[in-house]
Amino acid sequence: MQAVTLRIGTRGSPLALAQAHEVRARLMAAHDLPEAAITITVIKTSGDRIQDKPLSEAGGKGLFTKEIEEALIDRSIDLAVHSMKDVPTALPDGLVISAILKREDVRDAFISLMSGSLSKLPAGAVVGTSSLRRQAQVLNLRPDLKVVGFRGNVETRLKKLEEGLVDATFLATAGLNRLGMANRITERVATNEMLPAVAQGAVGIEIRADDERTAGLIAPLDHQETALAIAAERALLARLEGSCRTPIAGLARLSAGEIELQGMVLSPDGTLCHRARRRDRAATAIALGEAVADELLQLAGPDFLARFRIPS
């Protein structure tokens, strides 16, 4: 094989780099490759550059993938490694998610120096988050709390917490695990208390649809159960036309050849919340996602999401 076989593109945050290095290690093990055979290229995305406003106002989750996908299209890289919760449901023409790693812990992590759990925070405590989904669920559970915007990578947000800018925050347990920072977690929040973001905890590999060579190399990394769960959740999100601008949560789990999908839509202030849950054969993942979305739309009314969506 040539000295350089594959070029991985990724964001430059410590978590994104940890995920890219994990993909490289898995490829090396699967194909007995030396480390030099796979390079990692850091690409700064719009989401990394824009730090002065909430993502919901800046353009949504595609801000973390746009420049990396452009590098794929112009063949500067061979594959992109993404946190799947950052990937829009509609991909650019000619690109596909070809493999998804086995999912990590899906739960949100509550982190606070003041309290052991969300329920024990004193009235009026300040919770920092950049996620409309977390904001809406926090306010649904604890309308007596104050929620403020809280941007930055994992390390930045933890530092802000230590400086007392907020009393508590939430991060993905999966990300803290991958960074070796699980000891910073105050409480792993049960999914029946706070439903995760669609595809939370999953890492996906995006390639050019016509690149059969790369598709073959990454095929051993694809975890079918995770891929089915993510397909159901993303079908839910796509049907709802959701983005970072709308509080939507979803979680699919597989067992005994069946898949159960929970979905939730909320108003940003948490006062309105609609939930749906269905179970079907695993092979029906996409149809199941669409069915749960349709049930949520029926419960909430056809204009529910439009009322709260921030105009482009």
Mean pLDDT of all residues belonging to the chain: 91
Q: In this predicted structure, which of 57-71, 132-146, 202-216 has the lowest mean pLDDT? A: 57-71
At 50, the pLDDT band (50, 70, 90 cuts) reads: low
Confidence grade of residue 35 (pLDDT, cut at 50, 70, 90): very high
The pLDDT of residue 165 is 93
Q: For residues 248 and 206, give the distance between their C-alpha atoms in angstroms, rounded to a whole number.
A: 24
| Confidence check: pLDDT of 54 > 70 | no
> What pairing do the DSSP bridges indicate for beta strands 187-188 and 273-281?
unpaired
pLDDT at 53: 56
Q: Give the pLDDT band (50/70/90) at residue 130.
A: confident
User: Tokens at residue 247, please?
Assistant: 């509080």
Percent of residues, the chain, with pLDDT higher than 90: 82
The residues assigned a catalytic role are 86
pLDDT band for position 51 (50/70/90)? low
Instruction: Say which amino acid occupies 134.
Output: R
Cα 279 to its chain centre, rounded Å, is 23
Can you tell me the mean pLDDT for 255-277?
Answer: 95
pLDDT at 241 (0 to 100): 77
Task: Give this prediction's pTM.
Answer: 0.91
Which residues are CB-contacts of 141 (< 8 A; sequence separation ≥ 6)? Answer: 118, 119, 193, 194, 270
Give the pair of three-digit tokens for residue 309.
Answer: 């969506």
User: Averaged over 222-248, what is the pLDDT?
Assistant: 89
CB 98 within 8 A of CB 205: yes
- Predicted pLDDT of residue 312: 45
**Would you call 218 helix, strand, or coil by DSSP?**
helix
Residue 48 reports pLDDT greater than 70: no
* E strand map for 85-176: 95-100, 108-112, 126-128, 146-148, 168-172
**Residue among 83, 89, 131 at smallest CA distance from 108:** 131
pLDDT at position 255: 93
Q: Determine the Cα–Cα distance for residues 95 and 45; give it in Å rounded to an integer.
A: 18
Q: What percent of the chain has pLDDT over 70?
A: 91
Round to whole Å and give the CA distance between 261 and 284: 11
Q: Cβ–Cβ contacts within 10 Å for residue 283, how many?
A: 12
Taking 70 as the threshold, does the pLDDT of residue 122 lie above it?
Answer: yes
Q: How far is CA 49 from the centre of its chain?
A: 19
Q: What is the pLDDT of residues 240-262, one digit of tens each?
A: 975 556 899 999 999 999 999 99
Give the contacts of 238 (CB within 8 A, at least 6 positions apart).
89, 90, 289, 293
Token couple for 203: 């890492």
User: pLDDT, tens digit, for every residue of 170-204?
Assistant: 999 999 999 999 999 999 999 999 999 999 999 99
Per-residue pLDDT tens digits for 84-113: 999 999 999 999 999 999 999 999 999 999
Model pLDDT for residues 288-310, shown as the tens digit of each residue: 999 999 999 999 987 787 776 65
pLDDT for residue 207: 98
What the chain holds in terms of domains, given with CATH numbers, is: 1-102+202-222 (3.40.190.10), 108-188 (3.40.190.10), 223-312 (3.30.160.40)
For residue 1, what pLDDT band results from cuts at 50, 70 and 90? very low
Query: What does the pLDDT read at residue 287?
Result: 97
